[in-house]
Structure 1
């Protein structure tokens, strides 16, 4: 079952040109307090973007001396429908209709087909008492058919196929009773492929070019849409394309275990070889966004066909491989019968992955490439003097010590005290190279906003026409540079031309280093009687030098309209996204555990965590996020982590009903021996920030936060359920950020609705003959069918600001079952044992 949800689309009233629902009764003045009365308008006023002009604020106004952009309002918030974009109206044909004042629509759930074909083989071979060889073969073929949504693009779902293979072998050699050697070899292969499911009501493809947008799209993949987003909080977005990803891993681990007197020494080596290929029409299908910056309302911008951002590239083809290895040694020393010390160290040199054919850029201001002589100064590549072949240098100095103790105080029977400290290398993922090849000359990408089109200065920026986005981009002469598109094996000649400005999608700073994590803990554990255990623990960690992308060439705000928003730091470049090792993170938690071991038919486990997590960024990879909001002040982003869940309480139980051994055979078979199990999870909600929704900083990063309104309380999660769904927090506590700023509200200052979920299972074994039995199992996920709500709309410029309109993981896509809390799912199974 795919969970239902909700979204927002242009309402029936909006489609008739009526945007009066956005009028609030509150006013603001373009020049601030004391501004001319003819510039005072309702905060929900819709303006005519074709009338934009500069206006110098007069003396006596809050913005005196500044030039502001003013526009003529649409009377009564009524827009002539004759001005609507034919392209936008074609997309309306694949969107649902809504009578809600702000266009909210409910998306019905549906039955979903997910097919798993899998098997497992586990051979076991004792060659001799000293040699034991075992193996494992696991195969799983997942498939998920596309769903067209019957002409509703918000319900459409992409297809997926994902065959996975795992082969493993283990050789345990007992050299002598005190000396063991264990070798583990494994191979994994995962190949995935997906295609878009968008179709019109008459089963025709949905894509930008299909609906008349003047763009070229990748010629050999099925039609789709990489990204169409309306609203700063994605009132609705369409995003499905063609992806092919292959991952192959080989790992070898050899461990020696030696016991001698009070010592147990373990030493070993781990080697991991990884390969990753990604072929996709990502970016070859354009990305188009509407944020409401021209009229004041996102849906009005969309219907008028005036986009706020356009991005297109030549396609994404990444091939990356690498080998990492580590050696370790540790010694467990039983110093006293009640005191054990464990010390060890791990040497884990950092070897970056290698993109094939040197398909990764490096940003070195002032340096001219010799590999590609026509590249702009500052853009170099592997093969140029001093440039690492992997885009970033190796580091052999990664040594991680660790120490722990276990103590059983003699004066406290059945009590143990444990404490540990360890240093670890943060994982370095292949996804860091996800967009490495999406830069000229391998796969040129172009991204422009209203103030970076390279054309004449237009008050408020040049609207990007939905019907012909490239027509306003001066560097290409108003024409699309595509085709040609990229291909997996393309190696550009050294004389290749570059179109400026060049967009650098992924690079590594010269100072890049692998992140480090330090963890420590202290726990006290006490056993009551023979089957009850209680534990209390403090757990902490501190992380340093974690990688995160930074925009090295942001737009710069200026009161001079001729340069406002231009990327003046490096004019030959557009966006420059560069990984640097600057993020810090901390975690501190109180953890409490109560365990009842299985006895008298009952097993129970309860874990409670009270914690706080603070960081500067919670996700490292450009595959999942972009630059931090304010590249000029890294501390601006330090705050509550997106992974901060202050309270988590998990409970697990198994209860075995009496077997009724003294009852008649029928009662024993039907009523006796049932086993009832369950998991109950309570958790705090997801933290979130309040977004401005536009780009007041003119940095073109698009993550500016709102300003706080002094004196207003937040009033989070107040009133009845219907009240807090409609108004989760006091929306009057926030306002648009001041021009030229990134907003003054903190990061993740609010917490969304929590989780209260119960899964249950009921099972029974039915024995027959002497060696056979059948197990019946019935399971319910989200047994009480409780809705787990998503965060509210958190953009001050959205018509549904502060409203909760969806549940976690709602909408189309099999991913909702993985990352969300779908409606009650029940399944039954029979297993035969012999």
Structure 2
């Protein structure tokens, strides 16, 4: 357009209506050297209210009951739509999280040596996320002037008649997104338990059992209001873009109503998930003699898997997939729905493996369900995977008084603990076909996404290859933790105790996600768009996929292992009447397969799906080889007993306290940027190690020097190279996970304080404190650029706070 100005007659009426309503904030005026920039903020208050009720009653000397009820109301506001890509302050949300807990506990002394305790416990919480309009936007509903307000693809409800998401991808980067809100999540946990204690001679016996049910109702995530994505391509023109010139603009595409794609969730369903837990145990604390005590126990857990009460779940099972019904695709890379060349070019017939959904909202819509299992059908269990009824965990321990005087004691223990799968494996699988469906259309009209942008006729609703998030039925073991320790405690004097312990933990069957629908690695360069002049191949049409008809199939596996071993030393001493000191030292190593290069967490996706979790094995994200901490309080004796009351009360009686921390650095994980970083399969690739890892910590020189900003090169970036794109046998880097170490820390926090008596009779006093953090003002770096493609790769990016001085006073009365 002349002067890059779009004629008003060509501006799309829906774009105009949304801008008039205020989905994007107006630019802030009077900002030097900046045009079209918004500067502003919004309050994000947190409101908390708590009520506590407790009742205790003794019916007799043998029978008593207590109960309590706690209700906590927490409401927090967010200036942008949380858990989404929204980055404009015209839509925010309120996060309400009321919780409740209650206990009724009875105690009955059957005899002097026999005690029975019965308890009922309840814990519940609710999450309510409610969106609201802000910063100039007055309503989240479709505004006046918006054309075809009922033109969504599906008939499922659109709560609040919400505005569709608007994503201006590319250079503009603005994103208006109401996301899945409003959204509801309710959890209730009920438990009944009975515990019996029996003392018989040298034995203190405890045994008991419990039964618990956890019930959760949670809305699925997804945008039933739909969402348009605009990029620069449709306004870039047909001619080649000149070098060093920006062609096209996503905001211009929005104004003209030229979306690149449209996405819509058919129905925001909600699931009713339950799990039941059984447990029983027996424990004997046996005082063998005056010097030796043994702890002998065994616990049993029955752990059937979480299930959806109405069987509204879908999961992929390789055993149910029939290769003879592999999907066929049209030239638009969608699954063939017919043999009609006008709507299904390149298809001679409908693809095999098509079926329909049991969900009435999706009735008549063909879905590719080859390999999809539903609870209660074809042998699929209601929890999608196997249950665990034989989880036995021994508990063994001892305490031995070496000399019989109580000065030196050796203690040790071993136990096996089992962990119930938290439930996110099932919740994440909730949106799977056939009970839910996300449809994506390309190049449709903004005023009616059912119409093709190029022809104006009804756009063919494609059968998209589905992405599955499910559970691996063949490898779903129960996570377990093997914990052990042995230690010595010795009292050197009445006020000095030294403890030295070896502590360890072996974790087995930890969970992760792994994509099983993988092409041959020779296809990765084409899939990731790494071949010059060739666009990235669509995932679903890669010829070597084992399960054509789907894109990624990420299944939760309980397969990974981790371990921690450490030497722990603890010295607790009052060295003199004036000095109290406690010192800790830990020499340890923690190793785990922290998936995806992240800091840990539940159900992360493995970095290299071909190698699995073993590619991610390395030092844990929290691993520090050495940690030494000393804290002390010193009563300064100077002038504390001076004869002058004025001198004694002002100069004497001061105290110094401090915490000194010296520790090794945390691990650093180096990754790749660009297309090879994910290799087209959503991975997290790492570079090759081609040199020696070293930490020169030298200042960076550059021209002009003013552009360096006091940059420091922490580690040698020349020791790494990118894997060769054409190396189809091994396109993944050789550098280990968390292979580098960040800088250590030497930090002192100290305080000087004194208490002044105001009134001895009333006990009132005034405390004056001078506190310092990072007392010696050491520069302590904590952030490093770890992405190989970045210009500052290997350089420090952040540091801990400099010295902070704080003066304060407190009055006690």
TM range (shorter): 0.5 to 0.7
Question: Can you list the C-alpha shifts for 1:362-401, whole angstroms capped at 9, x where unaligned?
Answer: 2222527999696522111102121110111211111011
Matched, 1:161 2:96: yes
**Cα distance, 1:426–1:195 mapped onto 2, change above 3 Å:** same
- The verdict on how the C-alpha distance between 1:383 and 1:137 changes in structure 2, with shifts beyond 3 A counting, is same
3-state DSSP class of the match of 2:59?
A: strand
Instruction: Measure the CA separation in 1 of the matches of 2:174 and 2:765.
Output: 49
Single out whichever of 241-250 and 325-334 deviates more from structure 2: 241-250
Gaps of 5+ in 1: 1-85, 456-463, 482-497, 811-820
Q: CA deviation at 1:538?
A: 1.1
Q: Does the 8 Å contact 2:688/2:734 carry over to 1?
A: yes
Asked if the contact 2:594–2:600 (Cα under 8 Å) also holds between the matched residues in 1, the reply is: no
TM-score normalised per structure 2? 0.68
Query: How is 1:570-609 mapped onto 2 (pairs within 5 angstroms)?
Result: 570-596=547-573, 604-609=581-586
Structure 2, gaps ≥5 residues long:
1-15, 232-240, 254-258, 322-352, 359-366, 528-536, 702-707
Q: Which region of structure 1 is more displaced relative to structure 2, 631-640 or 575-584?
A: 631-640
Instruction: Give the Å deviation of 1:161.
Output: 2.5
1:434 to 417, 427, 430: 427
Where in structure 2 are the equivalents of 1:758-777 lying within 5 Å?
Answer: none
Taking a change above 3 Å as real, the CA distance of residues 257 and 386 of structure 1, as seen in their structure-2 partners, is: same
Matched, 1:644 2:623: yes
From 46, 55, 77, give the equivalent of 1:123: 55
The residue that corresponds to 2:390 in the other structure is: 397
SS across alignment from 2:310: helix
**Equivalent of residue 733 in structure 2, options 739, 743, 763:** 743
Aligned: 1:179 with 2:165: no
2:66 corresponds in structure 1 to 134
- 1:362–1:379 CA contact under 8 A, matched in 2: yes
Distance in 2 between residues matched to 1:624 and 1:94, nearest whole Å: 41
Moved more, 235-244 or 647-656: 235-244
Matches within 5 A, 1:676-715: 684-696=664-676, 700-708=680-688, 710-711=690-691, 713-715=693-695
In structure 2, what is the Cα distance between the partners aligned to 1:137 and 1:205? 39
Q: How does 1:351-370 map to 2 (within 5 A)?
A: 351-367=304-320
Local SS of the residue matching 1:514: coil
Change (3 A) 1:529 1:697: closer
Hey, what does 2:238 align to over in structure 1?
none
CA deviation vs aligned residue, 1:711-761 (integer Å, no higher than 9, x gap): 354427556999896544333333333224122221111234556777889
* Alpha-carbon separation, structure 2, partners of 1:535 and 1:287: 63
Structure 1 residues 510 and 600: CA distance shift in structure 2, 3 A:
same
Change (3 A) 1:591 1:526: same
Is the CA contact 1:612–1:646 (under 8 Å) kept in the aligned structure 2? yes
**What's the counterpart of residue 784 of structure 2?**
792
Q: Which residue of 1 aligns with 2:76?
A: 144
Check conservation: 1:689, 1:705, Cα contact below 8 A. Answer: no
Q: 2:593 & 2:29 partners in 1: Cα distance?
A: 39
The residue number in structure 2 matching 1:536 is 500
2:369 aligned residue? 376
1:591 and 1:205 map into 2 onto residues whose CA distance is 58
Give the drift of 1:525: 1.0
Higher relative contact order (CA closer than 8 Å, sequence separation 6+)? 1
1:264 aligns to what? 204
Alignment check: 8 A CA contact 1:577 1:627 kept: no
Shift of 1:682: 5.4
User: Could you say if the C-alpha distance between residues 675 and 263 of structure 1 is closer, same or farther in structure 2, counting changes exceeding 3 Å?
Assistant: farther
Offset of residue 96 of structure 1: 13
Separation of aligned partners in 1, 2:176 and 2:675? 22
| Distance (Å, rounded) in 2 between the aligned partners of 1:155 and 1:757 | 42
CA-atom RMSD in angstroms: 5.9
The CA distance in 1 between the partners of 2:712 and 2:26, in whole Å, is 28
Deviations 1:330-352 (A, max 9, x none): 11111121111111111012211
* Pair 1:504-2:476 in alignment: no
Give the deviation of 1:578 after TM superposition: 0.9
Note the C-alpha offset of 1:574.
Answer: 1.6
Q: Name the counterpart of 1:70.
A: none
**Structure 2 partner of 1:418:** 411
Change (3 A) 1:594 1:575: same
Partner of 2:608: 629
DSSP 3-state at the match of 2:209: strand
Structure 1 contact 551–628 (Cα < 8 Å) conserved = no
CA distance in 2: counterparts of 1:515 and 1:289, whole angstroms: 44
Deviation, structure 1 residue 696: 3.1
Q: Using the TM superposition, name which of 635-644 and 279-288 deviates more.
A: 279-288
- What secondary structure sits across from 1:128 in the alignment? coil
Match of 1:733 among 707, 719, 723: 719
State the 1:132 CA deviation: 3.2
Question: Which residue in 2 is equivalent to 1:246?
Answer: 186
Change (3 A) 1:806 1:170: farther
Q: CA deviation at 1:411?
A: 7.9
What is the deviation of 1:541? 1.8
Task: Report the equivalent of 1:273.
Answer: 213
SS at match of 1:435: helix
Deviation at 1:98, TM superposition (A): 12
Seen in structure 2, the aligned counterparts of structure 1 residues 355 and 237 have a Cα distance that, compared at 3 Å, is same
In our comparison, the structure showing a higher alpha carbon Rg is 2
SS at match of 1:397: strand
